[in-house]
Structure 1
Amino acid sequence: MTVLVHLVEPAAWRAALDTGALRPPSLADQGFVHLSAPGQVHLPAERLFPGRRDLVLLVIDPARLPGPVRWAPGVPGDPPGMRFPHLHGPLPTSAVVAVVPHRPPAEPVLPRPDDPLGRALTLHRSLRVRRAAELRDVPGGVAVLDPGFRYSRDDNRLVLHEPVDAGTVAATAAALAADAGWPHVAASLTWAGADDVAAELAGRGWQAEELLVMARPAAPPIPGRRAEAVDQREVHDLWERSWRRDLPPSEADLDEVVAQLVGREHRNDRVVAVTDLAVREDGRVVSAGQLRVDGATAAFESLTTDPAARGRGHGDAVLAAALDRAAGAGCDLVVLEADAADWPRHWYARRGFVPVGSTWEVSTQAGATTESSR
């Protein structure tokens, strides 16, 4: 299935998520949005954004556009006879099936609209890259770093999508940990067949966790009651209680660790549209989850329910509200990651989520052997 692309600054894309459409200056000045075929995008990138590596490529399904795309000649200097696609109207965010960081000279991986695994992996990788305080190129992908949240493995790790061997993963992560002062070494292995590398690292004392990538359509809705949308600060107390239960009692600097793990979450809304959904009992938030919308793809994350409030349908209420909002935003796909060895994967399966693939998270504490993942 053929896709089109549009190169844009991340801030412009984030603003479009709030309005439902991207309206670049060319729409007012020339009457259309400049698009490209995947093999053409390097030409406007070099002409308009020379040397930039902080942009994103919007992957567009032409079948979702409200009007036909017209092909027209480029500008002087483009290859003779080359024609570029033009959209004569705003670009709906619901036509964008993926948002890919543009980091030349690396070749971008563009998922097809009908590939739920590719779209899910792109969203999970892209979010980490787009919110990172610092990025470094490494064999097989990139390293994301954020010294302001050094205890967060999600924000200080390797994010790898091309095959590399276990020795390269270990050496690269250890070198970065030493240079950046990480208290851990961690990597996401997101290519097909990464289980062999994960198994070898587990044999070296690393913790290796397989995550099932699960997906379902945003509609039809799940029947039943709905959670309410809340300011994220109202969920902080629930998150803090959860982290204090889950972290080992021996965790050094426990208060600082918990503060960072709670405090990091607000940054997601800088790059994707985030809605926090919650259920209250006696005015107190006892269950919550988060919906992250990035064009036509949404991710459901961080479903948490107080142990004393479980078994009352709160998780269903939160998930149902998330699916409603995803459908309302024009998403056709909702994705999540679930521990392949834990019971929630069955809970999600009963609610329409289907496994479409898996990834591996590998980690170890710097200077030690294993530590619970966060």
Structure 2
Amino acid sequence: MTSATPRSELRRVQDFLSGFDRRQAARTVDFPGGFAAFDDAYALSRGNNHVLVDGETDAEALPARVDELMARLPYRHAYVLDETVAEVCLGPMSTAGYRHSTSLLMRHTGPVPARGGAREVGLDALRAPVTASWHRIAPQAGPDHVHDLVERRAARRRGAEVVLFLASFGPAGETAAWADLYMDPASGVAQIEDLVTDEAHLGQGHAGSVLDTAVRLAADAGCTTRFLTARPDDWPHRWYARKGFETIGSVSRFERS
């Protein structure tokens, strides 16, 4: 977390993530310091079936708790929103065989750009390009797994007051890049998620068009806190920094097959 970032601003982002996750879920199971989110319609999607720790919790008990809550699934997956809590959980979770990784939380602090050329689309417009992208990103994923990763976007409509799917298009009308925009104008928070460019359209400015459109729409809706997540070990976070995003914290992810 950068020293210039107020704790309250990071808390707003964490609260948004927790609230979105809870509303998106088909069902939840609470425990002290967090909850498990499930959606049997997308059972192979870890983004829809996991444990989320959004408060103080018993770190020593967490591995067994995740095992118990996710006993019906072939994988274990847990998120910890607070960095201090995650640090305490790291030892017990690692001892229990969990792999640890993080995603950066990046808040937009640069000038609000002019609206790019992207526009809102429905799920049908994204189905084919998103399927192709998952075959490229996760070639080991079977057909059922890819199906869940593609179709789970429908569940995201429950997560926030305003959920938009944005896309930029190539010269022949093909979908070139896309992203989700989740907004809660009442709290002034918006998240940009799953920004992806089709492989045939890399380096043509489509991702920038989608990102600029999302930032402008969020700003116009009164969302003064605009954020996204990025892997620290991949290049996009440096591109996001050039687009006016700064790192304000991180989310920990614990996984075990």
TM-score, normalization: structure 2?
A: 0.88
Query: Is 2:45 aligned against 1:152?
Result: yes
Kindly indicate whether the alpha-carbon contact (under 8 Å) linking 2:66 and 2:76 is maintained by their aligned counterparts in 1.
Answer: yes
Q: How far 1:120 sits from its partner (Å)?
A: 0.9
Q: How far 1:221 sits from its partner (Å)?
A: 2.6
Which residue is 2:146 aligned to? 258
Which residue is 2:122 aligned to? 231
**CA 270–165 in structure 1, closer or farther in 2 if over 3 Å, else same:** closer
Kindly indicate whether the alpha-carbon contact (under 8 Å) linking 2:112 and 2:215 is maintained by their aligned counterparts in 1.
Answer: yes
Which residue is 2:174 aligned to? 284
Which residue is 1:89 aligned to? none
Q: How far 1:268 sits from its partner (Å)?
A: 1.8
Which residue is 2:3 aligned to? none
**CA 114–202 in structure 1, closer or farther in 2 if over 3 Å, else same:** closer
CA-atom RMSD, angstroms?
2.0
Q: How far 1:297 sits from its partner (Å)?
A: 0.6
Kindly indicate whether the alpha-carbon contact (under 8 Å) linking 1:188 and 1:362 is maintained by their aligned counterparts in 2.
Answer: yes
Q: How far 1:114 sits from its partner (Å)?
A: 7.9
* Residue number among 200, 205, 208 corresponding to 1:316 in the alignment: 208
Kindly indicate whether the alpha-carbon contact (under 8 Å) linking 1:116 and 1:215 is maintained by their aligned counterparts in 2.
Answer: no
Q: How far 1:196 sits from its partner (Å)?
A: 4.5
SS class of match (1:274): strand
Q: How far 1:291 sits from its partner (Å)?
A: 0.8
* Residue number among 172, 175, 197 corresponding to 2:68 in the alignment: 175
Which residue is 1:30 aligned to? none
1:149-182 superposed Cα distances (whole Å, 9 cap, x missing partner): 111112211110223355422111111222xx21
SS class of match (2:204): coil
149-158 or 313-322, which moves further after superposition? 149-158
Query: Is 2:110 aligned against 1:222?
Result: no
One-letter amino acid of the structure 2 residue matched with residue 342 of structure 1: D
SS class of match (2:11): helix
Kindly indicate whether the alpha-carbon contact (under 8 Å) linking 2:115 and 2:216 is maintained by their aligned counterparts in 1.
Answer: no
Q: How far 1:223 sits from its partner (Å)?
A: 4.9
C-alpha distance in 2, partners of 1:364/1:244?
22
One-letter amino acid of the structure 2 residue matched with residue 140 of structure 1: G
C-alpha distance in 2, partners of 1:342/1:199?
25
Which residue is 2:228 aligned to? 336
* Residue number among 274, 282, 297 corresponding to 2:163 in the alignment: 274
One-letter amino acid of the structure 2 residue matched with residue 362 of structure 1: F
One-letter amino acid of the structure 2 residue matched with residue 236 of structure 1: R
Q: Which structure's CA Rg is the greater one?
A: 1
SS class of match (1:195): helix
C-alpha distance in 1, partners of 2:241/2:111?
15
Structure 1 regions of 5+ residues with no counterpart?
A: 1-112, 366-374
Kindly indicate whether the alpha-carbon contact (under 8 Å) linking 1:198 and 1:360 is maintained by their aligned counterparts in 2.
Answer: no
Q: How far 1:140 sits from its partner (Å)?
A: 2.0
SS class of match (1:341): coil
SS class of match (1:308): helix
Kindly indicate whether the alpha-carbon contact (under 8 Å) linking 2:165 and 2:181 is maintained by their aligned counterparts in 1.
Answer: yes
* Residue number among 247, 250, 254 corresponding to 1:362 in the alignment: 254
One-letter amino acid of the structure 1 residue matched with residue 199 of structure 2: P
Query: Identity over aligned residues, as a percent?
Result: 30
Query: Is 2:14 aligned against 1:126?
Result: no
C-alpha distance in 1, partners of 2:92/2:242?
33
One-letter amino acid of the structure 1 residue matched with residue 153 of structure 2: E
SS class of match (2:16): helix
One-letter amino acid of the structure 2 residue matched with residue 274 of structure 1: V
One-letter amino acid of the structure 2 residue matched with residue 237 of structure 1: A
C-alpha distance in 2, partners of 1:351/1:239?
24
Structure 2 regions of 5+ residues with no counterpart?
A: 1-5
1:87-118 superposed Cα distances (whole Å, 9 cap, x missing partner): xxxxxxxxxxxxxxxxxxxxxxxxxx982211
SS class of match (2:195): strand
